[in-house]
Amino acid sequence: MTISPSQDAHDFVRDYAGAHPEDVLDIDQPVSADEGVTGLIYELASERKDPMLLCRHVDGVDATVLSNVFASRTRIARMLGVGPDQLHEEYHRRASKPIPPQEVESGPIQEIVQRGEDVDLHTVPMLTHFASDKAPYVTSGIIVAEDPDSGVGNMSYHRSMIHSPNELATSLHSRGDLWRMLQKHAERGESMPVAMVIGGHPLFMLAASSRIGYEEDERAVAGGLFGQALEVVRTPVHGIKVPAWAEIVLEGTIDPEARAEEGPFGEFSGYSSNRSTNNVLRVETIMRRRDAMLIDVEGGNTDEHLNLARIPREAEMAHKLKARFPDVTALHYPTSGTHFHAYVALDQRRPGAARQVMLGLLGWDPYLKTVIAVDADVDVTNDSEVLWALATHFQPHQDLFVIDGLPGSPLDPSSGADGTTSRLALDATRGPSFHGDRIVVSTHARTQARTLLDTIYGGS
């Protein structure tokens, strides 16, 4: 059967660069594998630029490196065929219509297969992202496992570094569904078969961040995002279904008892973290395309790292909030707050509505520590507008509440020794007793000013 090139990351890059050349930085000059890509991304971000990066000559890496793919919300929205304002709704619409994966006879991922003594993880391309990192890391590694009873699959991201030529040290610090699956295998006294997918079509990678139940399969979410079944082949030893168009796949097992130190690594908090479960993935097979790219996810508190996880979270929370609280008009998780802050806008029709909305959000999302509620005319995507609302509408003695003793993120450097956190809600809406009108600069005046400035600056 002929498989669909629409699931090929190479075709995505070519087509996107053709349609939006201004949004792709294609670099032919040498770039260092030691913080070189990171340096580019951080310097671009300092200029408020977030292009997709294609680095064709990274020293010591035998592959083209693609990075910063998820740094732009506009780019992610384009992947889904909508504008940024429709991103939440379109992601939720597609993800809510999962399509089970379809097994195909063969795919590009099977072009090169190394097994047994031929396995050497030093041949797998990896980058050093930060000066504080312990080693080069796989940052885009999606571990795929299948429940031993139901066969339902699970996909999740886990940072990994080389421990030996055939072992990766990795962290399952999220302690989510993969951790639960590993405990099942531990109770049976056996290792858990897994496959780590390093790079695939961006919609497949976005699906791996989806927030779904244990009995649901992220590979089916990928099908929903594509609008067609994810095409999969089976790995040669354990028969795990992986994308036929993947770039690199490592097949092996995780022994519930084996441990190897990993970290520190630059995490989303903006700190170098060595909090880890220190698990070991023993690799039995390396599969790759002949023309495999290293699709890297930039770590740290970058837009790319944060967007990849927060867009599915935002989409889920926005859907829940708007369904339950019709006053809600917008939701945004700002980069400045990593995964711990959220801004919610609402058209408050009765006293207490903002508090109720914030309470719901803090209860539903286990990562959030602070929520700020603002009025519908405040742009929640603009930190300055939210802080202005906080400065002019908020009275500390009456407009906040705190909830403590709740589970928090294991990567939050401020969380307690037991992993608990407190959560804060700040009501920066005007309220019924507020008096004041926002200043207005008329459209006419702004248009005249723009015309004059274009004359002065030559339209630049």
Whole-angstrom Cα Rg for the chain:
23
The CA angle 87-346-311, to the nearest 5 degrees, is 25
Q: What pLDDT does 275 receive?
A: 83
Q: Read off the pLDDT of each residue in 273-302 and give the average, rounded to a whole number.
A: 94
Distance CA 136, CA 162 (A): 8
Q: Is the peptide bond before 264 cis (omega within 30 degrees of 0)?
A: yes
Q: What pLDDT does 16 receive?
A: 97
Residue 234 to residues 12, 73, 99, 109, 178: CA-CA distances in angstroms? 24, 33, 18, 10, 19
Distance CA 196, CA 194 (A): 7
Q: Which of 1, 224, 211 is nearest to 98 (CA)?
A: 224
Query: What's the predicted TM-score (pTM) here?
Result: 0.90
CA neighbours within 13 Å on the CB side: how many for 178? 30
**β-strand pairing of 341-346 with 370-375:** parallel
Q: What pLDDT does 459 receive?
A: 58
How many other β-carbons are positioned within 10 Å of the β-carbon of residue 50? 22
Q: Read off the pLDDT of each residue in 86-90 and give the average, rounded to a whole number.
A: 95
Query: Domain residues of the chain, as ranges?
Result: 72-290, 325-427
CATH, domain range 325-427: 3.40.1670.10
User: H or E stretch including 94?
Assistant: helix 87-95
Is there a contact between 273 and 210 (Cβ–Cβ < 8 Å)? no
Average pLDDT of the chain to the nearest whole number: 93
Which amino acid does the sequence have at 452? Answer: L
Is there a contact between 183 and 223 (Cβ–Cβ < 8 Å)? no
CATH, domain range 72-290: 2.30.110.10
Q: What is the band of 3 on the pLDDT scale with cuts at 50, 70, 90? A: low
Residue 193 to residues 104, 143, 150, 274, 343: CA-CA distances in angstroms? 21, 10, 14, 25, 40
The CA angle 199-204-209, to the nearest 5 degrees, is 95
Q: Read off the pLDDT of each residue in 80-102 and give the average, rounded to a whole number.
A: 96
Q: What pLDDT does 174 receive?
A: 67
How many other β-carbons are positioned within 10 Å of the β-carbon of residue 173? 20
Q: What pLDDT does 2 receive?
A: 55
Q: What pLDDT does 274 receive?
A: 84
